[in-house]
A = this chain, B = another copy of it.
């Protein structure tokens, strides 16, 4: 991206730290590009209080109010199961187009395939960017990722939606600060929006998930490290296909396991999250016959936890796994970077 974007993020009805993960990601990594958040229930509120990031960014209640902050695009800022467009958002999207904004959409639903919205965009001369539309990706993975000079790092999870992208991005930053050439490979809508390019792999035909990420990894074959944003969870019945394609596309040298200590069940299911050490063994088991990885550490998402409970959680997981344990937001990821560099 050459010129700075002026982003208004739509979260109407979904402004919490998990549902609005696209919003939270943009607020954290592109803070000087977000000019407003549009959310009627929280208009006038404080983003930092609500989701831990976004200090100073106003929450507005309409496209009209957002215009005072001169946005050039509206980004749909929530990730909803199944990826459908909430009906309530349609009027806001139409208003944004009419007001001269482009619309950036990371949902599975394609705005360009929606006759009404496509017509509104054409009438207004604005663009609809469907981030998940990745035409032309049609190669299967073949295990070639093993050929990179770069060490390959993948973030994986005990569940979906608990910090795999954030952990990967923080690790890239930390390795870069140490003078190493570390490249980030985004794989989801938020990562692709933050970077401005990449392939959203969960929208690809399932046969091509591993091939797409393999190709992305090979682009950085000569780096020191390639850090790939993980997706889903190996045991989550909604998303395990994507997770598995990633594992075999990347064939990581190092895994970082992401976990939310307060989470008991996998999100949107009644399925309990197994003990961490069991999850670690399972991730290793599905890679072992092809390219056995080391698990270098655990990244906890302790959002909303008291300092005392947070310290307890770190120690518990350290004892259980014998691995370095961090919370990327509270402790940084230096311990993970140390383990990677030593590995």
- On A, residues with C-beta under 8 Å from B are 81-84, 108-109, 138-143, 201-207, 209-211, 214, 234-245, 247-249, 251, 268-272, 274, 278, 282, 285-286, 289-290
Contacts of A290 in B (CB 8 A): 235, 237, 271
Q: In chain B, what residue has the closest Cβ to A248?
A: B237
Contact, CB under 8 Å: B238 / A241: no
Contact, CB under 8 Å: A238 / B207: yes
Q: Which 5 A-B pairs have the closest CB atoms?
A: A241-B245, A140-B238, A244-B244, A237-B248, A206-B206
Contact, CB under 8 Å: B83 / A138: yes
Known: A140-B82, A142-B269. A205 touches B205 (CB 8 A): yes
Contact, CB under 8 Å: A108 / B138: yes
Contacts of A239 in B (CB 8 A): 140, 207
Contact, CB under 8 Å: B238 / A244: no
Q: In chain B, what residue has the closest Cβ to A211?
A: B238
Contacts of A289 in B (CB 8 A): 235, 271-272, 274, 278
CB distance from A246 to the nearest CB of B (A): 8
A-B contact pairs, 7 of them (CB 8 A): A84-B138, A140-B238, A143-B270, A206-B245, A209-B241, A235-B289, A244-B245
Known: A241-B245, A286-B235. A268 touches B142 (CB 8 A): yes
- Which residue of B142, B235, B242, B286 contacts A238 across the interface (Cβ within 8 Å)? B142
CB distance from A137 to the nearest CB of B (A): 11
The docked-state distance in angstroms from the alpha carbon of A292 to that of B168 is 33
CB distance from A280 to the nearest CB of B (A): 12
Contact, CB under 8 Å: A237 / B249: yes
The docked-state distance in angstroms from the alpha carbon of A143 to that of B285 is 23
CB distance from A256 to the nearest CB of B (A): 20
Contact, CB under 8 Å: A83 / B243: no
The docked-state distance in angstroms from the alpha carbon of A290 to that of B233 is 13
The docked-state distance in angstroms from the alpha carbon of A249 to that of B238 is 8
